[in-house]
Amino acid sequence: MVKRRQFLLATLIAIALWLACLISGQNSPLTFVVYGDTRTGHDVHKAIVAQILKFRPAFVLCTGDLVSRGTEADQWETFFQIIKPILDAKILYIPVKGNHDRDGETGLYAKAVERLGLKPDTGNPNYFSVRFGDVCVFVLDSNTILEDDAQLRWLEKAFSECKGLHKFVAFHHPLFTLIERRAAEAERFRQRLQPLLDRLKVCAVFVGHDHHFYCTKRQGITYVTTGGGGAPLYDLDPKLAQEGDSFLKAYHFIVIEVSGHKALATVIGMDGEKAKLEGKSENPFILCDHSGG
């Protein structure tokens, strides 16, 4: 009888803990990887893929420019050969459509999305959402978003419907840049997207396009540029950064660890070690923290 009571008590405690976890929005810890702009840097890309696998991520998110010319079928074949170890490990690969991935009338990008095993919830391979436990990822097509109101309407609706605690948005073109010649372009995307992202209270935004690492926090939202996947690295201008920003001209990828109310990001170099960042030096750093509600 005593053992039975002990068993029932243990069961009730386990159920209570499970319900508390559900109420607080905390699921099991989850790790994923973000990187981008691989293009024709095949040797770098191969090295990064090898390092990514060591972290055993739940999924990999690429911030665009997977290839140099989206109209060339052979470039897509090379890309798939390089990421084959990721796919063989049954790790979901989520692409963002970059400006170099535009495929004209060939349909090659849509075929690539299908080949990755993705079935977009929008029916459109260019923008969609994916959920992993407590993590929601919303992928947008910034090639067309300056004129496409439908994407923004979809994002607002899908964002409100997703019950995950950690909500990330990914697209290719940055809203903030350390490259002077791209400042005007970034301003156009900022005017278009930042008001909605602020209103939605996004956990973090991942972009590519600029071939380096850059992280800045604006209006409480963390914006991360990760374009160090193989394309030629760009020089950056630290004078364009604000206090608290971090940046690095190096090939890299980012490991995101989500646990409870926090999402932590670590910038990893090609050698598999934590990178030494310039500016704000913390690595790892907090992407978002929902502890306060």
Q: pLDDT, tens digit, for every residue of 94-142?
A: 999 999 999 999 999 999 999 999 999 999 999 999 999 999 999 999 9
Strands (E), the chain: 30-35, 59-62, 92-95, 128-132, 135-139, 166-170, 204-207, 213-218, 221-226, 246-248, 252-259, 262-269, 278-279, 285-289
Three-state DSSP at 3 gives helix
Residues 66, 98: contact at Cβ < 8 Å? Answer: yes
User: Which token pair is 43?
Assistant: 């040797």
Question: How does residue 290 score in pLDDT terms, banded at 50, 70 and 90?
Answer: confident
Phi, psi torsion values for 183, nearest 5 degrees: -65, -40
Fold of 28-289: Purple Acid Phosphatase; chain A, domain 2 (3.60.21)
pTM comes to: 0.90
| In the chain, % of residues over pLDDT 70 | 90
Three-point CA angle 285, 290, 292, nearest 5°: 115
The domain spans of the chain are 28-289
Question: How does residue 280 score in pLDDT terms, banded at 50, 70 and 90?
Answer: confident
State yes or no: pLDDT of 166 exceeds 70. Answer: yes
- Region 11-35: mean pLDDT is 56
Residues 166, 203: contact at Cβ < 8 Å? Answer: yes
Query: Tens of pLDDT along 189-198?
Result: 999 999 999 9
- d(CA 142, CA 97) in angstroms, rounded, equals 8
